[in-house]
Structure 1
Amino acid sequence: MTQLHFNLDMNFLKDSILNSNLDHVVKSTVVLVLNEYMKKERDEYLNTDAYERTDERFDYRNGYYDREYMLSIGKVNLRVPRTRSGEFSPTVFEKYRRCDQAFALSMLEMVINGVSTRKVKNVVEQLCGEYVSKSFVSSLTEKLDPIVNEWANRPLNTEYYRYVYVDAMYIKVREHHKVVSKAVYIATGLNEGNRRDIIGLKVSHEESYEAWHEFLNELITRGLQSPQLVISDAHSGLKKAIQKVFIGTSWQRCTVHFKKNLIEKLPRKGMNDVKEELKRIFDAETPQDARKRKEEFVSNHQDNSKMEKAINNLEEGFDDAIQYLNEPLAYHRFIRSTNSLERLNQEVRRRERVIRIFPNTQSAFRLIGAVLMDYEEEEQKKRPILRRDKKE
């Protein structure tokens, strides 16, 4: 290992520390050490001291060149030694590459966690005293592309997800100098170990049967086996795509969305007791109990003409809304709605509100994918703690 020896003027050093800005002292010390380290490395590489004549020499010193280098403490100016052949390369830059990576990853983490590129730029300037453009921060996020793509296209045949949740949300994207609305498709799955994973992400032009069919087919191509139950809202294109792609799979209509749709059909006044009756239907533990409560509800209110639309909608969507009752009781509250997916959407919205308009579709996919990866990782860290608390 290279040994460094320094001859320092202690009075000069004390005066520098007492009378200078501490940041400047730290940077100057780092520059001194790194410059000396690179000089000693060149000596070892040449296997000869300066001005020494020897037959073992196979290259010659060729002065120095200046190089700016960004570390976590900010940018420093180094004097890099070189040789005549140009084959010598100091290991300093390799050794300190991790500092550059940590610096870049810190900026990426700020962006992913909802800090605007403008604010990231300001933070970096405050910490490092160096100007960093918004475009530089934005270009850094492109480093996420291979990571997000690998995650979004990973095989799904290593797990069996018996319950799959799907939903779409809308974002604004700049395209051909126009701002357009695009649909973000997200799918999650609950596996046999009761772990919830994000298994699908896609940004498309619109929420349609064709787009949903393509999205679900991609999940199958990646190895997803047909689940027992798919939980979603009642978008007509989505319902049709589920029937086509997942043969033999039941569809569970989100009860939260369904109850809201029914309540919207009720008269505005004096309906509190009626609303409670509706909710009670979906609190049943068996399909038979739910059907009995539904029949009682219809019998109680069928003579009220103002209730006709609500009753018709209840009759039409009832069977699709109680499919979860055919599953084990312990899962009912988890599989009767898409609430878990709604919480995930809210996390994406938090970041989307900062950006407002994505510069292009790829940037939307990249950052939403990074947000989902981060969210999934954090949620999985919490689960062992929750299980331990339950045992206690």
Structure 2
Amino acid sequence: MARRRKSDSPFSDELIDQLLEGREHGAHLLGNDGLIGELKKRLAQRMLEGEMEAHLDEPDQQEAGNHRNGRSSKTVTMDGERVVLDIPRDRHGQFDPTLIPKYARRFPGFDDKIIALYARGMSTRDIRAHIQEIYGIDVSANLVSAVTESVMADALAWQNRPLETVYAIVYFDALRVKIRDEGMVHNKAVYLAIGITSHGAKEILGLWIEQTEGAKFWMRVMTELKGRGVADILIAVVDGLKGFPEAITAVFPDTVVQTCIVHLIRYSMQFASWKERKAIAKALRPIYGAVSADAAAAALEEFEQGPWGQKYPPVVASWRRKWEQVIPFFAFSAEVRKIIYTTNAIESLHSQVRKTIRNKGHFPNDEAAIKLIYLSLRQIEAKWKRPPKEWHAAKSQLAIQFGERFILTE
């Protein structure tokens, strides 16, 4: 017989041979109905017995004279399979196993499967059908609802978690979601914020569904961020939202508020015919590509006097209305401009969220929208690992420009 390679596993080849002895080899051994399923059940049973032994060995239990009092059968779901376990009982009825707590019918991990399906935008009906097809068990609609309801507590904890003291850049933008409210389906705005730390790490700061119009809503958002520990935002990049710049500077007076240049270009394009937009966009380039605010103002004046400015005065008017939030852009170096030129970072986030919610049609209430969007954000954020490639060059420029406010934390 060929010499077997020594294994680092604690399970010897002899033990594995004993387990396989007398069994017909095949893939069925790896399923819940085969050897693996039997081992999982035996392992769970032994863990329960070990928990009972540890429970009865506690000084207070020994002093009270507590002891075993038989077993009771309990059907639980393990990896999608119903398994009958014999749960040890104690005389005083105080034993509550950690492995499968009292009143629980599912091992940890099963709920995660339901939540993962829900996070992909599947309806309760689809989740039930999927579990029935894959795992061969029927779960009730009430069970699926109860599991997904537990997500709301996580979402609230996430929304209220402490934040960094300083963010170098924060992007604010909104996506539209259909939500039923007072018997009518409304197109509500869900606002998201992405913060960039001094080390270039991206972080989703929170999500807010607009309940009131204008400055009051924005003041609430800014006050909430400050209450969660944010002391300073160096640059806030926004999408021309009415009343937003004033709300930001009311709470963070030293923040530079920058209008997203790409959004401004898109907005101004709406006043022109479709076939002329490409040419107009090219003519606008000298404005936002200028080396200084004075040069940009001169370029805007030249555009206004030129053929496109004469033909479409509202294009120029749209730039002049936002000029106070445009000109901060020209004080930054080319490396920083690349990062604050657009809210693409948050638009990409919105695009991924929309993939999750597009099959929903509309949400029955705000809470349902928050749950699903939160789960989607959690999955997206888990994939963020490295700072943007432009960050290393921009970091030095920001440190020079903002001095002591640009804090590099450990």
Q: In structure 2, do the counterparts of structure 1 residues 228 and 310 end up closer, same or farther at CA, with 3 Å as the change threshold?
A: same
Report what 1:367 is aligned to.
372
State which of 257, 260, 268 in structure 2 corresponds to 1:254. Answer: 260
Report what 2:5 is aligned to.
none
How far apart, CA to CA, are the structure 1 residues paired with 2:140 and 2:26? Answer: 32
How far apart, CA to CA, are the structure 1 residues paired with 2:346 and 2:112? Answer: 28
Report what 2:316 is aligned to.
311
1:350 paired to 2:359: no
How far apart, CA to CA, are the structure 1 residues paired with 2:177 and 2:225? Answer: 22
Report what 2:136 is aligned to.
129
1:80 paired to 2:87: yes
Q: What do the CA deviations read for 1:301-358 (whole angstroms, capped 9, x no partner)?
A: 3883x23232333333334223222123211021122221111122222222133322
How far apart, CA to CA, are the structure 2 residues paired with 1:60 and 1:235? Answer: 68
Contact 1:282 1:322 in 2 (8 A): no
Alignment RMSD, CA only?
3.9
Report what 1:244 is aligned to.
250
1:108 paired to 2:102: no
1:148 paired to 2:148: no
Report what 2:3 is aligned to.
none
* C-alpha deviation, 1:376, in angstroms: 2.0
How far apart, CA to CA, are the structure 2 residues paired with 1:212 and 1:256? Answer: 22
Report what 1:7 is aligned to.
none
**Which SS does the other structure have where 1:126 is aligned?**
helix
Contact 2:190 2:209 in 1 (8 A): yes
Q: In structure 2, do the counterparts of structure 1 residues 186 and 18 end up closer, same or farther at CA, with 3 Å as the change threshold?
A: closer
1:189-208 equivalences under 5 Å are: 189-208=195-214
1:30-69 equivalences under 5 Å are: 30-31=40-41, 63-69=70-76
Q: Which structure 2 segments of 5+ residues have no match?
A: 1-18, 58-64, 393-410
Contact 1:285 1:329 in 2 (8 A): no
* C-alpha deviation, 1:131, in angstroms: 0.6
How far apart, CA to CA, are the structure 1 residues paired with 2:193 and 2:131? Answer: 36
Q: In structure 2, do the counterparts of structure 1 residues 108 and 300 end up closer, same or farther at CA, with 3 Å as the change threshold?
A: same
State which of 266, 277, 286 in structure 1 corresponds to 2:272. Answer: 266
Q: In structure 2, do the counterparts of structure 1 residues 358 and 39 end up closer, same or farther at CA, with 3 Å as the change threshold?
A: same
Greater Rg over alpha carbons, structure: 1
1:25 paired to 2:34: yes
* C-alpha deviation, 1:236, in angstroms: 1.8
Higher mean C-alpha deviation, range 30-39 or range 67-76: 30-39
How far apart, CA to CA, are the structure 2 residues paired with 1:22 and 1:168? Answer: 47
For 2:351, give the aligned amino acid. Q
**Which SS does the other structure have where 1:24 is aligned?**
coil
For 1:219, give the aligned amino acid. L
Report what 1:71 is aligned to.
78
For 2:340, give the aligned amino acid. I
* C-alpha deviation, 1:226, in angstroms: 3.9
How far apart, CA to CA, are the structure 2 residues paired with 1:90 and 1:302? Answer: 76
**Which SS does the other structure have where 2:139 is aligned?**
coil
* C-alpha deviation, 1:80, in angstroms: 3.4
Taking structure 1 as the reference length, the TM-score comes to: 0.77
How far apart, CA to CA, are the structure 1 residues paired with 2:98 and 2:303? Answer: 78
For 1:361, give the aligned amino acid. D
Report what 1:217 is aligned to.
223
* C-alpha deviation, 1:231, in angstroms: 1.4
Contact 2:173 2:238 in 1 (8 A): yes
Contact 2:200 2:388 in 1 (8 A): no
Q: What do the CA deviations read for 1:146-202 (whole angstroms, capped 9, x no partner)?
A: 33222221223x431132221222222234554344332212222222223222322
Report what 1:276 is aligned to.
282
Contact 1:107 1:120 in 2 (8 A): yes
How far apart, CA to CA, are the structure 2 residues paired with 1:133 and 1:183? Answer: 33
Report what 2:333 is aligned to.
328
State which of 155, 166, 174 in structure 2 corresponds to 1:160. Answer: 166
Paired residues, number: 366
* C-alpha deviation, 1:268, in angstroms: 5.0
For 2:120, give the aligned amino acid. N
**Which SS does the other structure have where 1:202 is aligned?**
strand
State which of 112, 124, 129 in structure 2 corresponds to 1:117. Answer: 124
For 2:162, give the aligned amino acid. P
Report what 2:399 is aligned to.
none
**Which SS does the other structure have where 1:101 is aligned?**
coil
Higher mean C-alpha deviation, range 10-19 or range 218-227: 10-19
**Which SS does the other structure have where 1:173 is aligned?**
strand
How far apart, CA to CA, are the structure 2 residues paired with 1:271 and 1:85? Answer: 80
Contact 1:302 1:311 in 2 (8 A): no
Q: Which structure 1 segments of 5+ residues have no match?
A: 1-9, 48-57
